[in-house]
């Protein structure tokens, strides 16, 4: 609907320009035959210029834009350097308080019980056993202070600690040549990432924020933290991880956010 409104606006303005131009043609060119020819070609030119917007309905525009977004995924996959690190910062630069963000308000944050928490790992992996929080905490941990960039444009610096995702994927014997890793979350969020980003040295299964266990609002008990991707690619309260070659999409991605989504 909005596209149509803009298309109308464009047509209206283009018509005004054409009208002025036709007037000009009429004044400058005296020979009637030449004048008529120029005025006609002007109209045709105007139409062909606008055909991308005005003569196509909103749905095909959306399809075209989605198609370009898929091409942008490919371009970004090609641009992605698996060894290029996001900048890190001193603790003194951490943004306090770190902003809460989700597809729901802060009052609706899901409280996941620590005792009953289990992490399911499925798909193209050798070891499909269900993980407990204690097992995740027993793996070698690391932490980093990095910039979180939201798709809205704002950014904030935070400190996350946890298991490097690459070592987790190797531990479960994941097929590292698979295309996608998908995530399902306790807050009904879901998303997926490309394997090169999953294996990036700064991609963490984060268990802590600012050296404390992740509070519920930041995704207790575990979230994926990638400084190379936008906020909506970093799922919280992860309950299931699966490795696949079938495009899994995502909560926002299915609505139109770019799938690769990040730096």
Partner 1 sequence: MMNFRTDLPIHPLWLRVTHWLNAIAILILAMSGWRIYNAAPFFAFVIPKGITLGGWLGGAIQWHFAAMWLLAGNGLIYLTCNVVSGRLWRKFFPLSPRALLADLLAALKGTLSHADLGQYNAVQRAAYLFVIVDAVVLILSGLVLWKSVQFPILREFLGGYEAARRVHFVAMAAMAAFVAVHLLMVALVPRTLLAMLRGR
192 binds partner 1 (CB under 8 A): no
150 binds partner 1 (CB under 8 A): yes
- Whole-angstrom Cα distance, residue 103 to residue 227? 20
28 binds partner 1 (CB under 8 A): yes
84 binds partner 1 (CB under 8 A): yes
Whose CA is closest to 82, among 165, 188, 175, 190?
Answer: 165
- Binding segment for partner 1 among 115-123, 132-140, 170-178, 249-257 (CB under 8 A)? 249-257
Structure token digits, residue 118: 């289990």
- Binding segment for partner 1 among 76-84, 112-120, 130-138, 216-224 (CB under 8 A)? 76-84
- Whole-angstrom Cα distance, residue 61 to residue 201? 38
The CB-of-213 to partner 1 minimum distance in angstroms stands at 28
- Whole-angstrom Cα distance, residue 261 to residue 238? 19
Q: In 10 A of CB 232, how many CB atoms?
A: 22
- Report the residue count for the chain: 263
57 binds partner 1 (CB under 8 A): no
93 binds partner 1 (CB under 8 A): no
66 binds partner 1 (CB under 8 A): yes
- Binding segment for partner 1 among 41-49, 90-98, 130-138, 204-212 (CB under 8 A)? 41-49
One residue of 55, 68, 130, 138 binding partner 1 per CB under 8 A: 68
227 binds partner 1 (CB under 8 A): yes
211 binds partner 1 (CB under 8 A): no
The terminus-to-terminus CA distance of the chain in angstroms comes to 31
At residue 147, φ and ψ (nearest 5 deg) are -90, 125
Complex with partner 1: residue 67 or 167, whichever CB lies closer? 67
The answer to whether residues 153 and 199 touch, using CB atoms and an 8 Å cutoff, is: no
């Amino acid at each position: 609907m909005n596209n149509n409104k803009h298309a109308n606006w464009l047509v209206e303005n283009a018509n005004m320009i054409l009208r002025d131009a036709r007037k000009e043609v009429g004044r400058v060119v005296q020979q009637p035959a030449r004048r008529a020819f120029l005025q006609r070609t002007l109209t045709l030119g105007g139409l062909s210029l606008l055909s991308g917007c005005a003569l196509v309905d909103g749905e095909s525009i959306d399809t075209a834009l989605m198609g370009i977004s898929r091409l942008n995924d490919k371009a970004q996959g090609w641009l992605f350097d698996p060894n290029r690190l996001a900048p890190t910062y001193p603790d003194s630069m951490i943004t306090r308080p770190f902003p809460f963000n989700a597809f729901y308000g802060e009052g609706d944050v899901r409280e996941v019980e620590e005792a009953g928490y289990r992490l399911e790992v499925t798909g193209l992996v050798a070891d499909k056993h269900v993980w407990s929080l204690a097992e995740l905490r027993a793996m070698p941990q690391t932490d980093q202070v990095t910039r979180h960039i939201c798709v809205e444009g704002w950014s904030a610096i935070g400190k996350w600690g946890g298991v490097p995702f690459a070592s987790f994927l190797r531990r479960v014997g994941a097929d590292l040549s698979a295309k996608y890793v998908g995530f399902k979350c306790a807050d009904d969020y879901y998303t997926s990432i490309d394997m090169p980003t999953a294996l990036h040295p700064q991609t963490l299964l984060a268990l802590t924020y600012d050296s404390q266990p992740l509070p519920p609002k930041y995704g207790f008990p575990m979230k994926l933290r990638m400084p190379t991707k936008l906020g909506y690619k970093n799922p919280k309260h992860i309950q299931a991880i699966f490795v696949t070659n079938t495009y899994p999409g995502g909560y926002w991605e299915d609505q139109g956010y770019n799938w690769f989504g990040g730096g």
